[in-house]
């Protein structure tokens, strides 16, 4: 049975113009795809020819301050050979778009929607690229490194806790302050009532 590094080398051999030499760290093989426009081709080959039939995850990294700004990471797994493979590609802020791999693995659909919603990276050809966590019309992408930790105010009334959260101060909510953690415990407050 081939090792992850051997699978990575086979994939590199199939795409020598866009896939860099594989790197290995602690038994994990990683390939960098230099042209993000080719990521769907590389992924399709990995599935069809090398047996990586399970997309574990698609994630993104914000390299704020560097260009290209984002790295998109694909974690692949082959159920038949039990090997993992990691693919990485970078996309600049100006274009901010990579092709979808949802035609290769249907499960990529929600992963890509989450990345679009929280990072703002677009996936060309995606069948339903809309927000998955934030509401439609929200103008920001909250996992970007330049998004303030305290959040941004909203101009939309009745959205995202413009008033007190429903459980605030309720019997199951820990309260701030108190002399110790036991005093902040909700059950301690109701025990003496």
For residue 164, the model assigns a pLDDT of 43
For residue 148, the model assigns a pLDDT of 79
pLDDT in tens, the chain (193 residues): 899 999 999 999 999 999 999 999 988 999 999 999 999 999 999 999 999 999 999 999 999 999 999 999 999 999 999 999 999 999 998 888 999 999 999 999 999 999 999 999 999 999 999 999 988 888 889 899 988 776 776 666 555 544 444 445 555 556 666 677 666 666 555 545 4
Look at residues 123, 172, 117 and name the one whose alpha carbon lies nearest to residue 147: 117
pTM of the model: 0.79
For residue 147, the model assigns a pLDDT of 84
Task: State yes or no: cis peptide before 68, omega within 30 of 0.
Answer: yes
The CA-based diameter of the chain, rounded to the nearest angstrom, is 72
For residue 160, the model assigns a pLDDT of 53
Alpha helices in 36-136, H assignment, sequence order:
39-48, 108-119
Alpha helices in 18-175, H assignment, sequence order:
39-48, 108-119
Contact 45, 53 (CB under 8 A): no
Domains assigned to the chain: 4-157 (3.30.460.80), 163-193 (no CATH)
Structure tokens at 166: 């429903």
């Amino acid at each position: 049975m081939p090792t992850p590094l051997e699978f990575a080398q086979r994939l590199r051999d199939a795409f020598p113009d866009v896939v860099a030499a594989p790197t290995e760290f602690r038994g994990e093989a990683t390939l960098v795809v230099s042209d993000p426009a080719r990521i769907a081709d590389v992924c399709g080959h990995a599935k069809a020819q090398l047996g990586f039939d399970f997309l574990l995850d698609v994630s993104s990294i914000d390299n704020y301050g560097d260009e290209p700004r984002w790295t998109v990471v694909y974690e692949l797994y082959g159920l038949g050979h039990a090997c993992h493979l990691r693919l990485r590609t970078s996309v600049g802020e100006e274009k901010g778009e990579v092709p979808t791999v949802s035609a290769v693995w249907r499960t990529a659909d929600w992963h890509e929607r989450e990345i679009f919603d929280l990072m703002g990276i677009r996936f060309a050809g995606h069948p339903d690229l809309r927000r998955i966590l934030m509401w439609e019309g929200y103008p920001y992408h909250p996992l970007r490194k330049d998004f303030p930790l305290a959040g941004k105010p909203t101009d939309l009334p009745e959205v995202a806790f413009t008033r007190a959260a429903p459980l605030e101060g309720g019997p199951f909510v820990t309260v701030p302050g108190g002399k110790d953690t036991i005093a902040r415990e909700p059950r301690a407050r109701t025990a003496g009532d």
